[in-house]
Structure 1
Amino acid sequence: MIEPMLDSDHLLVASTTLVVVAACVLLHFEASSVLSRMMRRTSPSRRRRFLGLMYGLLAAHVLEIWLFGLAAWWLTAATAGTVAGTTPMENGLDYVYLSAITFTTLGYGDVFPEGPLRFLMGTESLTGFMLITWSASLTFLEMQRHWNDRG
């Protein structure tokens, strides 16, 4: 018998993934826009401008990692996948850790997703790579724009 391509767990993971990716991209766009404007309007000190940019981008990435981690935690509670490995997943911070190693494309070692949850985590890797690259590009452009400022 041929199994249906998507069962209810797969649909739940796919729809959750779409929502979380959209939220993260929107969050990153808004944070990047605010930080870019801040670079032009705030303190004449180059140091303060760039520290604000870096801390702001870091905060955006941490929030994005938490969004994916909370989604993974919720999906496993909804039995739409599991996490296996040498370390048991005991609380939400364990899922934030899983999300961080996925988002940064560090890779799996002690824990890894199984079942439909793999779709969320695979998509998180691509999203994280793109958003980190976006941050690096913004930082480069802002450094290029402000490098010759005296401040």
Structure 2
Amino acid sequence: MVVLATLLTVVLCVLLHYEVSMALSRRMERSTRSQRQRFLTLIFGLLLAHIAEIWAFAATMSLLLEISSTGDVIGITAPGFLDFVYLSATNFTTLGYGDMVPTGPIRFVMGTEALTGFVLITWSASLTFLEMQKHWRTNHPD
């Protein structure tokens, strides 16, 4: 069950990231707005996508941890959903503070989330770089 839930969450996040990235890239091409507005839209759009992906993994963790055989998280005495969002964010960004530690099969979700987060963050950085190469005007900044 943990592996299936993890795979579904990864697929959801990758598809979401693809759709958001394509929409933002198309918007950059078609926009007549200022350079500042276009790039701020790109960056905030990508940040919102990452936040949605973090919340998707948090929801998966929260649901799975309702089932006793999937494991536990040491460091949370009375877990609320925002605890799982925090744990998800530290995993997604590969920051990993270590104040919350997964035990049992749920570790698969968290390990996979770290890899997925790393890939999606790198994808966002690559897209931003490519868009900057195409659209960054150094002679006439807005």
In structure 2, C-alpha distance between the alignment counterparts of 1:38 and 1:76, rounded to whole Å = 39
1:60 aligned onto 2:60: no
Check if 1:126 corresponds to 2:115: yes
Match of 1:3 in 2: none
Q: Choose which of 1, 12, 21 in structure 2 pairs with 1:32.
A: 21
Partner of 2:73: 83
Question: Separation in 2 of the partners of 1:134 and 1:68?
Answer: 18
Question: CA deviation digits over 1:27-57, x for unaligned, max 9?
Answer: 0000000000010112330000000000000
Aligned residue-pair number: 139
Q: What is the CA-CA distance between 1:72 and the residue it aligns to?
A: 0.3
1:113 matched to 2:113? The reply is no
Q: Which runs of 4+ in 1 moved over 4 A?
A: none
| C-alpha distance in structure 2 between counterparts of 1:136 and 1:23, whole Å | 20
Could you tell me the percent identity over the aligned residues?
A: 57
Distance 2:130 2:77 in 1: 42
| 35-44 or 22-31: bigger deviation | 35-44
Distance 2:13 2:135 in 1: 27
Q: Deviations over 1:80-139 (max 9, x none)?
A: 110002x42421110011000000000132101110000000000000000000000000
Are the aligned partners of 1:83 and 1:89 in contact in 2 as well (CA < 8 Å)?
A: no
- The normalised TM-score by structure 1 is 0.88
The alignment's C-alpha RMSD in Å is 1.2
Which of 102-111 and 128-137 deviates more? 102-111
TM-score (norm 2): 0.94
Unaligned runs of 5+ in 2: none
Partners of 1:99 and 1:89 lie apart in 2 by 17
Q: SS at the partner of 1:77?
A: coil
Q: What is the CA distance between 1:17 and its match in structure 2?
A: 0.4
SS at match of 2:101: strand
Name which of 54, 59, 66 aligns with 1:70: 59
